[in-house]
A and B are shown apart, each in its own frame.
Chain A
Amino acid sequence: MKFTSLLAGAAMVLGLATGAVAQDKTKVGFVYVGPVGDGGWTYEHDKGRLAVEKEFGDKVETVFVESVPEGPDAERVMTQMALEGADLIFTTSFGYMDPTINVAKKFPNVKFEHATGYKTAPNVSVYSARFYEGRAVQGHIAGKMTESNIIGYIGSYPIPEVIRGINSAYIHAKKVNPDVEFKIIWAYTWFDPAKEADAATVLIEQGADVILQHTDSTAPQAAAQEAGNVITFGQASDMSEYAPKPRVSSIIDNWAPYYIARTQAVMDGSWETVNTWDGIKEGMVEIGEISDAVPADIKEEALAMTAAMAAGEYHPFTGPIKKQDGSDWLAEGETADDGTLAGMNFYVEGLEGEIPQ
């Protein structure tokens, strides 16, 4: 063991890194952008990790490092995991994209899985969830329930994933409430409870009585609770500690089945580069329980929409939809293709303001 790892070390120095040495336990590493206790994004990824441990028991060993900044620090953490013999490494934030590719080049025998990115390699897969399906349900409930007709939205970064969510929520809110208006604040962070709470407070002061968030902490929920008479939705995780109000429902990212399947694939030697983008149908996106604060008829409609997406009968981006500038995007009955959705960098018609450039 000592000798083989010495060899691996020597090979690395020579630029011929061979990666992990053979061992009986499969070692799976996780790199997190926030703390595991964020109650949202990272919390759900960590639940996935624990599910892997539960599924495979003694056959697997998992390690994780939390609150890793996106950049050179992430590269070092991944390298460290690979050196210490990880066979599979999940890197769970968009900003880990280039570091993942860099490290993957040095360790061709280690498999990497990057969440929400678009760069793949022979040993790098990407995976993400169709959160926008959940946003459609949120938009429907929000549009029906708002009394001030102002919906506040806390954006993290103006990247396609977030813009997609805004568009999807807006389209479905507008459909049931033509007077609805979205106010968007960009927080430029995934996890910063203080900033998120500030953003929520500002939106509430501007008259919003629904707060949607694309950031990872529960701080906006707390701010809404304090303000009273504001409703929110759990983001990434159920956030049920704020139910039945302000949190009336949630989008839950369920990574566990994917993590278990990919770990199994590494064990079997059947791992291949894939580009996974699963939604409600596959169970990667779940709608958290709709609380009693939502009137029964609205709840029923929301559940029906969820069921339609699960059955593959309904696509949240179904025409006619125009872009913000008034140009045509989708014709009557046409649905958006994944390519456009993946790189979405425009608002749909009716949204005010500009995407920060």
Chain B
Amino acid sequence: MIVLEKRPQPSKAWSYATPLVAVLATMVFGGILFAILGKNPIQAIGTIFWEPLFGEFAFYYRPQLLVKGAPLVLIAIGLSLGFRAGIWNIGAEGQYIMGAIFGAGAGLAFYPLDAFYVFPIMVIAGAFGGWLWAAIPAFLKVRFGTNEILVSLMLVYVAEQMLASVSLGLLKNPEGFGFPGSRNLQSYESAHNAELIAGSGMHWGVVTALIAVIFAYVLLNRHMLGFHIRLTGEAPRAAKFAGVNPARLILFCLGMSGALAGLAGMFEVAGPSGQVSIDFNVGYGFTAIIVAFLGRLHPVGILLAGGLMALTYIGGEIAQSQLGLPAAAIQVFQGMLLFFLLAFDLLTNYRIRAARNEVA
């Protein structure tokens, strides 16, 4: 018989190993799934993980990994700060939308002015929009003790309604023949978040994501505030004795994650997407939660996890068109990744032992 025995201390080795084991297990079970669907599993897994990086058209896919991964990393970094302290912002998707609305709105307000300061103003507006949307659950939690999980999640749906409303009204393209959606910011040079080097995929959002990774690392490891965040998550009572102000921490963590999600939305709307439209959001805010946990809430881990997630998206699309794999199979494959991660996480805190045969 097998029993689980709680480890006196979480295993360091396992906490690093579980993401890798989870990826391997996903490959094995994903391969079995693909085989059942009648596809060659080695070829399918190979297509997903190999083609985007080293395949014939990698020169196009590698930059796309940055484009797809940057918003995930940027949002996940913000979320990880709160998650570490036990503050659960589930509404990054809504903050992402608000960042896009504020950012694009600020840019379009200047249309067609050609000036260097338009884009920086949009960046500030985007961060502000996201911060504002996250400040609502933060304020309500501090003031009235409401549950930030529920409030932030519900505000996603409010943000989606706002997005539909501005796409149809306030920000609608006056030259769009009555169709919903704003002007395309890609064709408004002062507001366009263009690639810094053509064909590299490197836009300001990617740069910001990398900066965020470095800042989060320094904050968590070298700064008093970072220490307080970690302390609150790991030992709330000790944090209290250490004089951590919980209200301040809540406002900081939620506000920061909101601002970063808002930035991600702003860079997306001004760059790859180009347009505020009803369908603008495609779930980055929710996927970033997976990325944050896949990366062990560690800045460097999140960077790698964001890259991996982007890889499965892009590789998954290639597998669809080259091998005819259904989209649902790719989604199951991505879901497996989180499932196995959580499952193997058990081994960090518990060890498996063969129990002696005692009569129960």
**A interface residues with partner B (beta carbon < 8 Å):** 5, 9, 12-13, 15, 29, 35-36, 63-73, 75-77, 79-81, 83-84, 94-95, 98, 102, 118, 157-160, 188, 342-345, 356-357
Stretch at the interface among B56-64, B141-149, B230-238: B56-64
Query: How far apart are the CA atoms of A98 and B199 in the complex, in Å?
Result: 19
- Contact assessment for B278 and A188 in the assembled complex, using a CB-CB cutoff below 8 Å: yes
A160: chain B residues within 8 A (beta carbon):
177-179
Chain A CB count within 10 A is highest, among B67, B184, B198, B279, for B279
Contacting residues, chain B, for A63 (C-beta < 8 A)? 321-322, 324
Complex Cα gap A245–B279 (Å): 33
Known: A65-B321, A71-B272, A158-B168. 10 other contacts (CB 8 A): A9-B57, A15-B199, A64-B321, A67-B327, A76-B64, A76-B314, A98-B274, A159-B178, A344-B178, A357-B168
Which residues on B sit within 8 Å (CB–CB) of A95? 277, 279
B322 touches A66 (CB 8 A): no
**Chain B contacts with A in 296-328, Cβ cutoff 8 A:** 313-314, 317-318, 320-322, 324, 326-328
Report the minimum CB–CB distance from B244 to chain A (whole Å).
41
Bound: A94/B181 CA distance, A: 11
A79, B63: Cα distance in complex, Å = 13
Q: Are B184 and A98 in contact (CB under 8 A)?
A: yes
Q: How far is the CA of A2 from the CA of B161 in the complex (A)?
A: 49
- Which A residues lie within 8 Å of B273 (CB)? 71-72
Asked if B317 and A80 make an inter-chain contact with CB atoms under 8 angstroms apart, the answer reads yes
- Establish whether residues B57 and A65, one from each chain, have CB atoms under 8 Å apart when the complex forms: no
CB distance from B307 to the nearest CB of A (A): 16
Closest to A190 in B: B279
In the complex, the answer to whether B318 meets A80 with C-beta atoms within 8 Å is: yes
Q: Are B168 and A9 in contact (CB under 8 A)?
A: no
Q: Are A29 and B280 in contact (CB under 8 A)?
A: no
Interfacial chain B residues near A79, Cβ < 8 Å: 60
**Interchain CA distance A157-B280 in the complex, whole Å:** 13
With A9-B59, A159-B179, A160-B179 known as contacts, the answer to whether A188 contacts B277 (CB < 8 A) is no
Question: Once bound together, how far apart are the Cα atoms of A94 and B178, in whole Å?
Answer: 13
B169 lies within 8 A of chain A by Cβ: yes
Contact size class for B? 35 or more
Contact bitstring B153-186, A, C-beta under 8 A = 1, else 0? 0000000100011001100000001111000101
20 residue pairs bridging A and B, Cβ less than 8 Å apart? A29-B321, A35-B326, A63-B322, A65-B317, A67-B328, A71-B280, A71-B282, A72-B272, A73-B313, A80-B321, A83-B60, A98-B184, A98-B275, A157-B180, A157-B278, A158-B168, A159-B179, A160-B179, A356-B164, A356-B169
In the complex, the answer to whether A13 meets B199 with C-beta atoms within 8 Å is yes
| Cβ distance A209 to chain B, nearest Cβ, rounded Å | 29
A3: min CB distance to chain B, Å: 12
CB distance from B199 to the nearest CB of A (A): 6
* Residue interface mask B227-271, A partner, CB < 8 A = 1: 000000000000000000000000000000000000000001000
Q: Which residue of chain A has the shortest Cβ distance to B327 in the bound complex?
A: A67
CB distance from A262 to the nearest CB of B (A): 19
In Å, the complex CA distance between A190 and B189 comes to 32
Contact A118 B177 (CB under 8 A): yes
A344 to B326, CA, bound (A): 36
B277 touches A71 (CB 8 A): yes
Q: B268's closest neighbor in chain A, by CB?
A: A72
| B contact residues around A71 at 8 Å (CB) | 272-273, 275, 277, 279-280, 282
Q: A160-B179, A357-B168 are in contact. Are A84 and B60 (CB under 8 A)?
A: no
Instruction: Please name all residues of chain A whose beta carbon is closer than 8 Å to the beta carbon of B313 when the two chains form the complex.
Output: 73
The closest CB in chain A to the CB of B178 belongs to A345
Decide: A83 and B57 in contact? CB cutoff 8 A: yes
Q: Which residues of A contact B164 (CB under 8 A)?
A: 188, 356
CA distance A153 to B232 in the complex (A): 52
Separation of A308 and B28 alpha carbons in the complex (Å): 60
Chain A residues within 8 Å of B314, by CB = 76
Query: Would you call B168 and A356 a contact (CB within 8 A)?
Result: yes
Complex-state Cα separation, A186 to B270, whole angstroms? 27
Note all chain A residues with C-beta closer than 8 A to B274. Answer: 98
